[in-house]
Amino acid sequence: MLRKGFLKQFFYPLVLVLWLFCTAANLKAVPGAEPMALIGANVGWNNNLSVDGIAYDLYIPPNYRDRASAHPRLRRTLLVLPGWNYPRTSWVENSPLVEYANKYGYALILPEMLKTLYESSYYPETELKWHSVPGGKFIKEQFIPGMQTKHHLLIPGDNNFLLGLSTGGRGVALIALENPDLFVAGASLSGDFSQENTPSDRLMTLVYGSFADFPSRWQGQDNPQARVAEWKMPLYLAHGTDDDIVPESQSCLFYQALKNQLDNQVLIEYHPISGAGHNYQFWGGQLPAVFEFFEKLTKL
């Protein structure tokens, strides 16, 4: 009788407490299961942070709505990708990006990507290596998990967005493909998506080897247009018709391939801008439309 009473009084409650603890721990391990407040950053600029030696800046606007608030899905986070060999500060220094981040309450994440094509792999023929880890693999396996653990940002279920220009526009497409369901929408300006249409491209050759010798590398995992059957994310595309760096046909062909594949099941917009070139006058001028596109897709 004493033993049975002891079990009821002490052992069973202990088991219950342990069960509740383990259940709570498992809930926390699931991204988005519980509200998680922003950590490791203050309102305003948080500069010269790093993930595995790659620098990034983080901007938190004064009106940022944290996930721990009464309406957690209201918070917005934008991963911002620069052009080829542009510093991470170029968007901020040459466009009104911060103005729109403040207006709509978007946190900005600006990684220092510089000379990457957002490649998934290096090869024996690769002469241009952005980092010890290929750029696309770094974003997927190190940077995004780093943002999740260091700041509780880019959590699945949040309003996560992508913005990129030129090579960063290509990055938008590849990051969306490699991280399905993480991003609510993206915007790609002056991007390139089907490198087989420019088989003499010097940068592609330096990473993948020549198109003549290695066509499968050019038309495989790192070719956004070849992967339109996998596409899920709403996308805003824009390209200047007078772009002399990346042909406007790159965005036009990608848009047509997406529309043919998706049959209007996913919102895809394309805006060829007559007379626009490959510059911040064009890219900055697209921001009002980009943020309007994002806002109509925000989950409330």
Closest CA to 260 of 290, 216, 234, 225: 225
Query: Among 7-21, 60-74, 136-150, 210-224, whose mean pLDDT is lowest?
Result: 7-21
Over 70: is that where the pLDDT of 13 sits?
no
Amino acid 299: pLDDT? 81
In this predicted structure, the answer to whether residue 131 has a pLDDT above a threshold of 60 is yes
Mean local confidence (pLDDT), 107-129? 97
pLDDT at 35 (0 to 100) = 53
Q: In the predicted model, is pLDDT for residue 73 greater than 90? A: no
Is the pLDDT at 6 greater than 50? The verdict is: no
pTM recorded for the entire structure = 0.87
pLDDT at residue 32, as a whole number: 41
Count of alpha carbons within 13 Å of 84, Cβ hemisphere only? 14
Report whether pLDDT(78) > 50. Answer: yes
The mean per-residue pLDDT over the stretch 52-73 comes to 80
- Enter the tokens of residue 280: 């911040």
The whole-number pLDDT of residue 7 equals 45
Q: How many residues does the chain have?
A: 300
Q: How far apart are CA 293 and CA 300, in angstroms?
A: 15
Separation CA 169–CA 194 (nearest Å): 12
Using CB atoms within 10 Å of the CB of residue 232, give its burial: 0 to 12 exposed, 13 to 18 middle, 19+ buried: middle
Mean pLDDT of 269-276: 98
Which one has a higher pLDDT value, 65 or 138?
A: 138
Q: How confident is the model at residue 28 (pLDDT cuts 50, 70, 90)?
A: very low
- Mean pLDDT in residue range 193-200: 94
What distances in angstroms separate CA 6 from CA 13, 14, 17, 136, 174, one per listed residue? Answer: 11, 12, 16, 58, 61
Question: Could you tell me the two tokens for 123?
Answer: 């090869």
Position 65 scores a pLDDT of 78
**pLDDT of 8 strictly over 60:** no
Residue 300 has pLDDT above 80, yes or no: no
